[in-house]
Structure 1
Amino acid sequence: MNVANALTLLRLAAVPFLVLLLHEGRYREALVLFVLAGISDAVDGFVAKRFGQETQLGKVLDPIADKALVVTVYVALAWVALIPFWLVVAVVSRDLIIVGGALAYHYLTGALEMVPTFLSKLNTALQLALVTLVLVEAALPMGVHVWVDWLAVLVLVTTVASGLQYVVVWLRKAWAYEAGR
């Protein structure tokens, strides 16, 4: 086990603790743990690339840890009424569509190549920013709830747009594969 993969596993292990902290209303601790999880995501990628620790396991674990963190935190935040349920439905549906498309393409071709788009990266950044802002407001009320509402709408727009973009990407790949057979 290398350092990069260990950091990824730590991020994955943080997920249930985040849920527990949110459920107990311990928002400051949840904010700290969420920020540490985010930092670990940046650090594990840097370590893997910089020190030649990129592995197949890491390529699988990293996106799983990322999705587990985001989806679980969104569900937990809706559970404690800090974000609207409709946003969770959009975020989870998008991820199910992406995973479903990837699995269907893999079943069709035997290959799987996941390359995040710019819109997907923007969406992820906005999703993480929203969680951070929601946790900051819950932990240290600063009157930023108006920004939370606007950011939630922006996350919805980029979530839907990104999901649709992935549908188009997977369909084009499937059509190209079928045409080349």
Structure 2
Amino acid sequence: MIDDAKAKGNIRSEVEKRLRPLTLPNFITLTRMAIVPFFVIAVAEGDFRLALWTLIIAGLTDAFDGWMARRFDMESIVGAYLDPIADKLLLVTAYVTLTIPMGQAVVIPLWLAILALFRDFFIMVVVLVLYLVEDIRDFPPSVLGKATTFMHIVTIGIVLLANLTAMPSWIPDACFYLSFVLIILSGFNYIYRSSRFIEVARQERADGSNDASA
């Protein structure tokens, strides 16, 4: 009885810890979301140095809050959802802002911004469908997905630098086309992985039904 009560207490404590919204890593994540408007204002006013520093600070805080959560046992369900939302908010805002001509020497092509936004929307729809239809709750990012996100960050940084200093045009152009290739490849990869996840989930349900009827 004592052991059962202790076990239940440990489970309750773990659940409460995982659900806690106000942790230092989550506060840092919220701060990262709060600096997004400063990026937009900096680009609109032609202050690409400030915009670049905003991007760097966002990247550093992204790495720091994740490390802190793992190192000091501050991981939470709220943080697991909040962190990718903050990342997407910055990337989408930066892509859209740098696509709009506001006197910049170099802008992100409209076709690339549309393709990147469509990919993110497609992924959200796929994840939602997998959850609602197949009850698949865990859909970790692939290597191609991470590479695409990394290339988005590099592209944003290169465009900002190209508006700060003289840079050969082939450098941002190479970033644009490499981003295009990765977006396409990661899109097809998500389709393939989704089909595999569905097959595994259905097979597990079928095996469970067979075991129950045996």
8 A contact 1:133–1:148 mirrored in 2? yes
Question: Take 2:149 and 2:71, find their aligned partners in 1: how far apart are those partners?
Answer: 23
Larger deviation: 161-170 or 53-62?
A: 161-170
Corresponding residue to 1:58 among 56, 79, 86: 79
TM-score in terms of structure 1 length: 0.93
RMSD, matched Cα: 1.4
1:144–1:56 distance in 2 versus 1, CA, 3 Å: farther
Question: Take 1:13 and 1:147, find their aligned partners in 2: how far apart are those partners?
Answer: 31
- Partner of 1:25: helix, strand, or coil? coil
- Partner of 2:166: helix, strand, or coil? coil
State the identity %. 33
Indicate the residue corresponding to 2:8 in structure 1: none
Question: Take 1:25 and 1:161, find their aligned partners in 2: how far apart are those partners?
Answer: 34
Indicate the residue corresponding to 1:143 in structure 2: 167
Indicate the residue corresponding to 2:138 in structure 1: 113
8 A contact 1:8–1:41 mirrored in 2? yes
Indicate the residue corresponding to 2:159 in structure 1: 134
Indicate the residue corresponding to 2:97 in structure 1: 76
Question: Take 1:170 and 1:13, find their aligned partners in 2: how far apart are those partners?
Answer: 33
Post-superposition offset of 1:167 = 1.5
Post-superposition offset of 1:79 = 1.0
Question: Take 1:50 and 1:176, find their aligned partners in 2: how far apart are those partners?
Answer: 33
Deviations 1:72-101 (A, max 9, x none): 110111013611001101111111111100
The structure whose RCO (Cα within 8 Å, separation 6+) is larger is 1
1:176 aligns with 2:176: no
- Partner of 2:107: helix, strand, or coil? coil
8 A contact 1:71–1:92 mirrored in 2? yes
Indicate the residue corresponding to 1:89 in structure 2: 114
Question: Take 2:62 and 2:166, find their aligned partners in 1: how far apart are those partners?
Answer: 27
Counterpart residue type for residue 127 of structure 1: H
Deviations 1:5-46 (A, max 9, x none): 111111111122211221222211111111100111111111
Counterpart residue type for residue 2 of structure 1: T
TM-score in terms of structure 2 length: 0.80
Deviations 1:95-137 (A, max 9, x none): 1111100000110133421311111111111111111111112
Indicate the residue corresponding to 2:10 in structure 1: none
Counterpart residue type for residue 57 of structure 2: L
- Partner of 1:158: helix, strand, or coil? helix
Listed as ranges, the gaps of 5+ residues in structure 1 are: none
Corresponding residue to 1:154 among 172, 178, 187: 178
